Every structure is written in structure tokens, then in C-alpha cells.
Structure 1
Amino acid sequence: MHARRLRVSLKGWGGVGAMALVCALAVLFALLLPMARSHGDGTSGPATGGPGATWGTQARAAEECKDPEKQTLSPSPDDGPTIDAIKNRKGEKRKLVVGVDQNSYRWGYRDPNSGGDAELEGFDIDLARRIAQDILGDRNAVQFKAIPTDQRIPAIEDGRVDMVVRTMTINCDRVADVAFSAPYFRTGQQLLAPKSSPITGYNDTLAGKKICTAAGSTAFSTLEQDREDGRLAPGADLGTTVPNQLDCLVRLQLGEVDAVVTDGALAASQAAQDPTVQLKGDAFTTEYYGVAMKKDADDLVRRVNQILVEWRRDTANGWQWSYDQWLSETLGDDSAKSEPPAPQYLRKS
């Protein structure tokens, strides 16, 4: 199942010189890291070899999935085996291990102008610290692990992280592999291109253009499906995929691609980093970010959902405060279009 079509207006803002160093480092990574290639089958989970029983099971689960943002467990403040294991870690290891991004401006990034160690900060970082505070009683009892876009699911399945809080869209392909919390943010796919580009949006002006997406992203699987269904402009080239979304901005700056497709929330942040690019057209999907965890970590899923309920209610240091702090500059003061829907908990076990 792919994201439902809905046009939602988002605006980018001016450039921010503070991110120049981040972009320069991203150029270095883009040149040194091998380009990650998707298998082109429209799935967003990890590569597990050739077609077989496992792939078939996941494909059927994705096909049967409806409203993936509702396929989560009801909230509970109770501990369970997964939370007990986290709490029983000793010494310096007694931390919540969270997979995050470190180069998504305003979401999870290191501000080079912040001084000191340039600690991770942003909207997703606030949420990760809130979860650590609730489970371990210390908002700093969290170990952040920076992971590429295409490694989010493998990192969970391999046990390298307890959860991923990294602008991760809930969709049916992923629900077959990991468990998600209720949504904590609403966004949609959107196009980013140079201001001087003749591209006007997700339409026929993309014909023959090179489009960059992150490997394993919803953007890539959506474009693949649209090409299969005849909705993508003819001749649009999807051959450029990268490990991290910011690498797409670098390739756009280098002139290696004509456009970038990513979540509108991220696209707005990237437009804020570079005054020569802008959002083109409206968002052409609606989707939701969720916290991803292991498939069988029921107690942790329920606990995170309980935390999200309280985070939304907290008028002093909750969801709205984090939005105002990090995202209002790039997405606008009105947070209504970004608020997640009232949660529904349709998963029973």
C-alpha cells in the first residue's frame, strides 16, 4: 500500500549559513561512500537475498495491510521483558539505544555554531530524550547511533538499536518487518529543485529528468510504483539513490541530478540550508512518522505510545514546544498541518 494522494502546501524558507559546514562534510561523504542501490522492487525493507518464502510472506502482509498508521498497540505504562532488559543494563551501558539521523537540519543534526561538542539536537532528538526520561528516569540516558536511511530496519532487526526515531514513515512494507508506534508527525512527499529549474512540481516537467532519492526510502518506493502505474513523467531517471537523504542535496548542488524527492518536512529543512533551491509544487502524498521497534517488543511499543499521548498533552515541554523550537522556522508557525491524527490502536498482539 502506498501513501494516499493529497495535496498539502508547504513552503521553504531562506538559506542558513550555519549549515555550510554540515553540507561540506556531506559532500565528502557523498564522494567517499559507495552509492547504495535499491533492488527496484518497490520495497523499503532490508535486502535479504533473492525471492523466497520470507519475501513472499512479507509481500502478502504488505498487500493485506490497510491504514498502516493504525496498526499499533494500545498505550500502557507497564514494564515488560523488553523494558526490563533495558533497565537491567549495567553502568555506562544502562542507556536507551536509539537510531537517529545526524544531518537532517532541525530533526537530528549537529549545529556547528552551537559551540562545545556540537551535540545532536532537533525534533526527533527531543522525542528520543523524552522516551529515555520516562523509561530510565534520565533524559540523557540515551545512546544515539547515527544510521543511514537504508539501515534503519536492519539496525532494529539486528538488535543494534532499541528503536529508530529518524523521520521514518509508517508504511505497509515496513509494518511487515518492524513494529511502529502511533504517528507522531504528518508530512508528505515533495519535490526539491534549483530555483532556476523549469521543473514546477510532480508533473510532466520531470520528463527526462534525473531524480535523487534515499535508498530504502518511501520516496523511492513511491516513485517506483508511480512509474509502474504510469503516473511518473516519461523518461524520469530514478537511477540515483544514496545512503542518506542529505546526500541528495549535495548531488543537486553538484549538478549531478535535476531534482530531489523526499518528505516535505525534510525538503523544507534542506531548502533552508541552501538559498539556491526551493520546494516545487505541493506535497503529493500524505504519510506519518512513527517510532520503529522490534516486531515482538510489545511492551516497548505500548510504553512509547503512552509516552506519545503524554507528550502531545504537555503544553510546557511537549510536542508543540518542540515544533516551535525546531520546525516553525522551516514549516511555518501554524503546526496544524503537521499534527498527527488522533491515534487508533488496531493491532491486538
Structure 2
Amino acid sequence: MTTRYGARRGTTAWAVTAAVCALAAAAALLVPGPAGADGGRGGAHRADRAAAGPRVPEAAAKCQDPEASLRPAGGADGPAAQRIKNRGRLIAGVDQNSFRWGYRDPANGRLSGFDIDLVRAVAKAVLGDADKVTFLAIPTNQRIPALEKGKVDIIARTMTINCDRIKQVAFSTAYFEAGQQVLAPKDSPIKAFDDTLKGKKVCTAKGSTGESELTNESHGAQVLTVPNQLDCLVRLQLGRVDAVITDNALAAGQAAQDPSLRLVGKPFTTEPYGVAMNLRDSDLVRRVNEVLEEYRRGGTASAWMRAYEKWLAHELPGITGPPVPKYKD
């Protein structure tokens, strides 16, 4: 029965659950920033821009290579970068609950992780100071609305680039490549993303790639969707679901938090992560891609490799470098 998995959890898992619940109760505004130049606290876009409807790029209608982004361009700041400079802070949508990616370090109370380091690099490039960032905790299913409504300048939150999403937001080049995989208890009969899921309760985040994959093929599973993928971990620890479908990069961090869990089977998708921005902010896309070019430069001594070794190498060993960037002009 489902509940027996929860009953077997040790003190480590319950400690993690308590921490997760405490984090989930935290306020969405993590680092308060000053009122923006456009009025209101930290608003990312002027009211006239927020009121206008989004413009869908022509390439999105004929999506063949969603990872292809705008080529970096030097020169004067465009309107989006200038908006950030006028405000004096970058507003970034992030996760605060994904171990190794975006989480609050209990040792110092600071937001830490691979995505957080990348956001700070963007702030350094645009504003000359890596600490001039207002971080907003954004649920998985609110990432795109946050950009469309102008609440944030960028989203750096393990967000997969795909053909559906490039109709709604603009992406940088890919900065990491993951894949959907199954996370389950070590004593579970579930073997992979296959028919061993039949009759099992499976959790995934609403608006995630995992939800799309389960919609296409559930393998007979009962599917539960929640606002954040970490909510699935809590339910798995409590024995309320039998497995979680999420990116293996995130699941590896969860397995590191709770040794009673493991990744099963193999990744069954390719998930390139990109920094997401408003469709109108083409100059900011180019600027972020310029940051990523510098971030990748230097081979094994690059800032990207240093971040990988610090945050991800233990749970995701064997990666020798970042994805090769693709450009469309």
C-alpha cells in the first residue's frame, strides 16, 4: 500500500519534511528592494508595456529548434537593460526550495545554488554589483505569468526551453541540460517511466514538463499536480504518492536530502534550461547571452564549471561542460 512507504521514513526524511514545510510558509518576497523607477515596489515593467499584448516571434510559429536564441550584441543598453539600471536592482524570479539550485542555506540564511550564482552574474554584468538583486520566490506554474505581468525581469528557475513556451516568453541559450526521470522510494516496485507506474499515485508540478509527459502517456498512473515540484517530495515522504516525475537535476538534489529515495530508470526527455524573459525584452536576452558566453569561457576553469563542481557534481557526476549555445541570427 502507498502508506507503508511513508511509515518507513527515518528521522532524516521527517527533518527534511519539516524544513520544507517551513520554507513553503515563507513569504514570496525574499529580498526586499526599493520602489522601481516605474512606480511600485520592484515592478519590472512600465504600466504601458504591461498593458500591451505579447508579441509572438515569427520563429515560434514554426518551431524547429527552440533552443536557438538571440546572438549577443555589444554597444549601448537597450530599453530593458536601461529600465533595470534606472531601478538600481535586477528583479529575478527563482526557487527557494530546490536543493543545489535555488534554496535558502540554513547555515547563513542566504539564497544559494547554481541558478542563484547565475542570477548574480547577470546583476554584476548589468549593474556592476552581484548583490543588487531582488529575489522573488515564484511557483512553477507562475513563472510565465510573472514575466507577462512584469513582476520580474528574468526567471532563473530550472525552466525548460520548449516550443510551447517560446510563444509566451523569450529564452537565453541553454545553460544546463537535464531530463525527466522518476524519483521513488528505494523499496518501490516502480522501475522506470513505464507500465510499472500502473495503478500508482504519481506527483508532478503543474505547468511542468513532467505534467505534459504524463498527459501524453500516464502509463496507467493516477496523476496529482501541485504548484511546486518540492510539494511532491513532501507527499512522497508522507506516503501520499508513490513516485515523483521531475527533472533529474532536481530529483538528484532531493535524493541527496533523503537517502531513502532514488532515481529509477533513465531520463526519458531532454530538458535544456534557459533564463526566461519577457518577449519584448530582446536587448536583455542578448545581454544575458553575453553573460552566458563569458560564464562558459575558460574550459575546466570557467565560472560554469566552478559552479557545477560546487553545486551539482556530487549528485550529477560526469558532466564535462555546459551545453553548446545555439543562435538564430
**Structure-2-length-normalised TM-score:** 0.83
Q: Deviations over 1:181-200 (max 9, x none)?
A: 00000110000001110001
**Displacement after TM superposition at 1:294 (Å):** 0.3
Q: Tell me, which stretches of 5 or more residues in structure 2 are unaligned? A: 1-9, 27-52
Matched residue, 2:227:
243
Q: Are positions 1:101 and 2:92 aligned together? A: no
Shift of 1:24: 1.1
Deviations 1:288-345 (A, max 9, x none): 000000001011000000110100014656000000001112112x223xx4432121
How many residue pairs get aligned? The number is 292
- Preserved CA contact (<8 Å) 1:23 1:250: yes
Q: Does the CA contact (< 8 Å) of 1:16 and 1:272 recur in 2?
A: no
CA-CA distance at 1:172 after TM superposition: 0.9
Q: Is the contact between residue 23 and residue 97 of structure 2 (CA under 8 Å) also seen in structure 1?
A: no
Higher relative contact order (CA 8 A, sep 6+): 1
Aligned-pair identity (%): 57
Kept in 1: contact 2:296–2:322 (CA 8 A)? no
Cα distance change, pair 111–133 in 1 and its aligned pair in 2 (3 A): same
Q: What SS does the corresponding residue of 1:278 show, helix, strand or coil?
A: strand
Q: Distance in 1 between matches of 2:186 and 2:246?
A: 17
Written as runs of structure 1 = structure 2, the 5 A alignment for 1:315-326 is 316=301, 318-326=303-311
1:1-349 alignment, distance < 5 Å: 23-27=17-21, 64-70=62-68, 72-78=69-75, 79-89=77-87, 94-112=88-106, 114-115=107-108, 118-225=109-216, 227=217, 232-233=218-219, 235-238=220-223, 240-314=224-298, 316=301, 318-332=303-317, 334-336=318-320, 339-346=321-328, 348=329
Contact 1:288 1:340 in 2 (8 A): no
One-letter amino acid of the counterpart of residue 122, structure 2: I
Cα deviation 1:72-106 (Å, max 9, x = unaligned): 111123311110111112xxxx1100000000000
Gaps of at least 5 residues in structure 1 are 1-14, 33-53
CA distance in 2: counterparts of 1:168 and 1:331, whole angstroms: 18
- What TM-score does the superposition give when structure 1 sets the normalisation length? 0.78
The Cα RMSD (Å) is: 2.6
User: What is the SS of the residue equivalent to 1:139?
Assistant: coil
User: Against the structure 1 CA distance between its residues 16 and 287, is the aligned structure 2 distance closer, same or farther, given a 3 Å change threshold?
Assistant: farther
The alpha-carbon distance between structure 1 residues 307 and 62, as it changes in their structure 2 partners (threshold 3 A), is: closer
Verify the 8 A CA contact 1:126 1:322 in the aligned structure 2: yes
